[in-house]
Amino acid sequence: MPQSPCPRHASTPRLATTLLAAALLTVPALAQVDTGDADFTRFVALGDSLSAAFASGSLVITHQDNSIPLLIARQAGVGEIEQPLVSEPGLPPELTLVSLSPLTIAPKASQPGAPLNLGLPRPYDNLSIPGADACELLQRTSDAGGMFDLVLRRLGFTAVEQALALSPTFVYLWAGSNDVLGAAVSGRVIDGVTLTQAAPFEACLRTMVGALAAGGAGGVLGNIADVPAIPFVTTIPPVVVNPATGQPVLINGQPVFLIGPAGPLTPADFVLLPASALLAQGIGIPMALGGTGQPLPDAAVLDASEVSAIRARTAELNAIIAAVAGDIGWALADIEAFFEDVKDDGYRVGGVDFTTDFLVGGVFSFDGVHPTDLGYAVAANVFLAAINEHYDARIPPVDLSPFFFGTGIGAGAVSREQAAAALFTPRAERHLRRTLGIPSDRQLDRIAGSIGGGGGGDGAERPDGLPDPGRAEDDAAASPLQRPIREQ
Amino acid sequence: MSQQAGWVRGALVVAALVVVAAAPAGSAGFGIFEQGSQAMGMAGAFTAQADDPSAIFHNAAGLAFFTERDIMVGTTLITNTETSFRGAAPFPGPGVTADQESVVFFPSHAYYVQPINERMTFGFGFFTPFGLATEWENPDTFPGRFISYEAELQSFDLTPNIGWRLTPNFGIGIGAIARASTVELNQRAGLVNPFANFAVVDIADVSLESDWEIGYGFQLGLLHRVNSSFSWGLSYRSQVDTDYAGEADFTQISTGIPQLDAVVAASLPFGAPVAVETGIDFPDMASLGLAFALSRNTTLEVDANWTGWSSFDTLVIDFDDARDRGSELDVERREEWDDAWNYRLGFAWRRPGGSEWRLGYVFDETPQPERAAGPLLPDNDRNGFTVGYGSPRDGGMYWDVALMYLVFDEREVRESIDNFFGTYEQTAWLLGITVGWN
């Protein structure tokens, strides 16, 4: 029987209040760092999986030890902060590269790790919740044994409420990625379902920031990167590839496009990373080339119009984030612009170019969505640069050497073509889809049908009245925390 | 290779022994200004005097005033060079230190001056106007090894000149330049390792070495000895563009994992040299000097030198790999150097009997922007202090010696195209020795 992450003893508001009050007595001493006009006396972080240091499909202490909020706290002289740590091999078990030939990715263990500090007598300083969108940080308190329960511990308070209980003097808030990510990783753009509409996003963000800044706290907001440019979307080409050479199969000098749900794909379409398992079965490949001739499901393809819709919505949400930061007087970490540079030109460290390429790039982990430790450290430096500029501070950047040189052995010199041919084991593929909260086509069809292509729906828990795609009726796709547990 | 080509190559190798690069060089960027010990004793403030055969380097118009044959040879011993590095975040991080190897270099010079008639003089010079050598200790662990752990640029000029005295106190000089040079770069190739949390590991040693190639240019000079108390000079040396062909050798570094090594072996062109092409546009230079006789026995000269270092904009290395992987190996570094000035002040005191003591000071502005400073070349503004002594010029053999202490401003790199941050400190001693006959 797997261990529950939810402390039953901490379920009453009275006790919770006591715990929250205790937080005020445990303020860490600040080291001597010039933080300018920023007051890091009580530093609190809110966000999603990116701020929780989720990597390779897992939340695990080895990566949490290098979460962006923790790195910022260390650099700002705050020191260590409290996080909802999870033991190895992670929750769910971390994906790892198990073979070069064939290139195979799989969970590194069957048993998940366990929460390590559920008994902390106050809220965590890093209240980032994998899978959370902006409104959920403001309004959700529990998710039946999922990541919300791991972080919020069924105290009956939302992430924002727990953050307020810590009386923050400086707030880190990077939310919004999950408001567009759902569309990219599910291959389905359903306005208001997989893609949050601008109005509820703005309402939630303004409410959240207003509450957090009401006590005079300073802060920094992060904006949303170009989700369709992540390796999860860009790695697999939309054409048939010769597995022996890694090069496109040419007939009469022309590449042969894979079969998508609406016929042959086009150069502007993307095949999502978990489709590697389907392609290995011949799905999506014409029979003439040895495939089954069956089309790839919609969930495996992100077409050009869907990419355009995601990018347009991302631009809308980023404009809102910038406006909110400006209105409240907080710093803005322009993650979108930074990621755009990395996507176009790579990120050079000591003569080595890191790129957004899957497996070989060094920026993204094995799930193709979340950064590596070095990627997180670099992102932390983008936040620090924004804080320094806005608050006239001189907080030193994070030292990248430990992430650059690491302690590993050997070299993973795989080509881009090989990386594109990486095969997720069926277990890894399920694992990946579930941890990213990707519902099935059938689920999305039901949701889309129920809302008539617009708002509404049957998910009463979302503040905007819409169902949460991460908690559709198949609860195997609903709870990132429980799913791997049930898998055992 | 033909026998003639082989002979030429052999001769160039011999020449390289006396024109080996300087590190740190005596002039900012990768220039070398120490091409005669008399001038060196006055920190190179010599454009308006140019009264020994090193005029061929400093101001060819000085040739116009020679009345006798003059031959001069010498070298500049560059020793006790020290370059240290302290890392900073974000990479390679505080606590990281490194030093360059302390080595001895001796860029050399030789001049021959022969009057043709009362108004015209021929001069031929051999000198080393540019050079660079950086070699970091412990290349296996030096954190900048993926940029460069050893680099070298060697060059020498062969330059025939004519000096023409238009009036008794005004002369011009013109010369052609044939500049032979070669470049070498050694670095490590690293890749992220998905088996080890995407840390970077060494997978290959890459050594690139060009052939000796020749570029051509010209130089001009004016020298006006207005009266016994004042003279001025102006000189200009053109830009010399040089294209290099050469070879790159890739040597695999085992990861200890056979399966990985096999993948690496299939990814990089090990086993056979890969043809490479690159090029350097050596900058043009201009110098204005004003010399004053403060008394019968003392001379003061002030020079301002300009170097068009903006020609060093981009360093491109094209690999021509037979397996069509060249484009992935190609290098394009945007150096984007700036034009730069240096200012030289020289003083000479002639003793009874004709020997001479000299002092000098030079402030040399770096052309290298902060973002381009790194393990390949960590240049910065520098101050040089010189003292020199010369024997009497009374016919027959003469000699000059000069000593320069060169101290660089501390170079703190907070902006870097390689994201390689830290602080460099450099100092160097230069000893010049020149012997002549007239």
Rounded to an integer, what distance in angstroms lies between the CA atom of residue A231 and that of residue A228? Answer: 8
**pLDDT score of A19 more than 90:** no
Q: pLDDT tier at A186 (50, 70, 90 boundaries)?
A: confident
Give residue B383's pLDDT: 96
Q: How far apart are CA A444 and CA A460, in angstroms?
A: 16
In terms of residues, how long is chain A? 488
CA distances from B198 to A93, A463, B167 (A): 18, 39, 73
End-to-end CA distance of chain A: 9
Positions in chain B whose pLDDT score sits under 70:
1-27, 80, 321-328
Task: From chain B, pick out residues whose CB is under 8 angstroms from the CB of A388.
Answer: none
- At A421 the three-state DSSP class reads coil
The Cα of B184 is separated from the nearest Cα of chain A by a number of Å equal to 17
In the structure encoding, which two tokens stand for residue A164, read together?
A: 């307020």
pLDDT at A444: 59
Cβ-contact A366, A429 below 8 angstroms: no
8 A C-beta contact, residue B136 and residue B145:
yes
Which tops the pLDDT comparison, A440 or B334?
B334
- Stretch among A61-65, A333-337, A455-459, B371-375 having the lowest mean pLDDT: A455-459
| Chain A closest-CA separation from residue B322 CA (Å) | 17
Longest dimension (CA), chain B: 80
> What average pLDDT does range A88-98 have in this prediction?
91
**Residue A92: cis peptide before it, omega within 30 degrees of 0:** yes
For helices A373-391 and A335-345, what crossing angle results, to 10°?
A: 130
pLDDT in tens, A359-394: 889 999 999 999 999 999 999 999 999 999 999 999
Of all residues in chain A, the percent with pLDDT exceeding 90 is: 62
State the sign of the Cα–Cα–Cα–Cα dihedral B408, B413, B416, B422.
positive
CA-CA distance, A339 to A225, in Å (whole number)?
6
The yes-or-no verdict on residue A21 having pLDDT over 80 is no
Q: pLDDT: is B363 or A99 the higher one?
A: B363
Most A CBs within 10 Å, among B134, B197, B250, B252, to test the A interface: B197
- Helical pair A198-213 and A304-328, crossing angle rounded to 10 deg: 30
Cα-only R_g, chain B: 23
| The pLDDT of residue A30 is above 80 | no
Contact list in A for residue B196 (CB cut-off 8 A) is 406-410, 412
- How many Å apart are CA B15 and CA B19, to the nearest integer? 6
pLDDT attached to residue B12: 39
d(CA B58, CA B54): 6
Inter-chain contact B194–A406, Cβ cutoff 8 Å? no
pLDDT at A245: 77
The pLDDT value given to residue B412: 95
pLDDT value for A449: 63
Q: What pLDDT does residue A484 have?
A: 27
Report which of A144, A231, A232, A187 is spatially closest to residue A443, judged by C-alpha positions: A187
Q: What is the pLDDT of residue A446?
A: 65
For residue B238, the model assigns a pLDDT of 98
CB A176 within 8 A of CB A133: yes
Instruction: Over range A36-62, report the average pLDDT.
Output: 97
Structure confidence at residue B32 (pLDDT)? 92
Structure confidence at residue A144 (pLDDT): 85
pLDDT exceeds cutoff 70 at A28: no
Contact B356, B297 (CB under 8 A): no
Q: Do the Cβ atoms of B90 and A381 come within 8 Å?
A: yes
pLDDT at B370: 95
Confidence of residue A438 (pLDDT cuts 50, 70, 90): low
Q: Which two tokens stand for residue B139?
A: 């290349």
Does residue A433 surpass a pLDDT of 50?
A: yes
Asked if A365's CB is within 8 angstroms of B191's CB, the reply is: no
Distance CA A330, CA A222 (A): 10
Kindly state the helix (H) or strand (E) to which residue B162 belongs, with its residue range. Answer: strand B150-167
pLDDT at residue A7 above 90?
A: no
Cβ atoms within 10 A of the Cβ of A3, count? 11
Sign of the C-alpha dihedral, residues B1, B3, B8, B12?
positive
pLDDT band at A114 (very low <50, low <70, confident <90, very high): very high
Q: Cβ separation of B195 and A97 shorter than 8 Å?
A: yes
Q: What is residue B323's predicted lDDT score, i.e. its pLDDT? A: 55
pLDDT for the residue A359: 85
What pLDDT does residue A450 have? 60
Are the beta carbons of B191 and A412 separated by less than 8 Å?
yes
The predicted structure's pLDDT at residue A487: 26
**Chain position carrying tokens 């001493």:** A29
Q: Reply yes or no on whether the pLDDT at A179 is more than 60.
A: yes
Cα–Cα distance measured from residue B207 to residue B276, given in angstroms and rounded to the nearest whole number = 11
Task: Specify whether the CB–CB gap between B417 and B377 falls below 8 A.
Answer: no
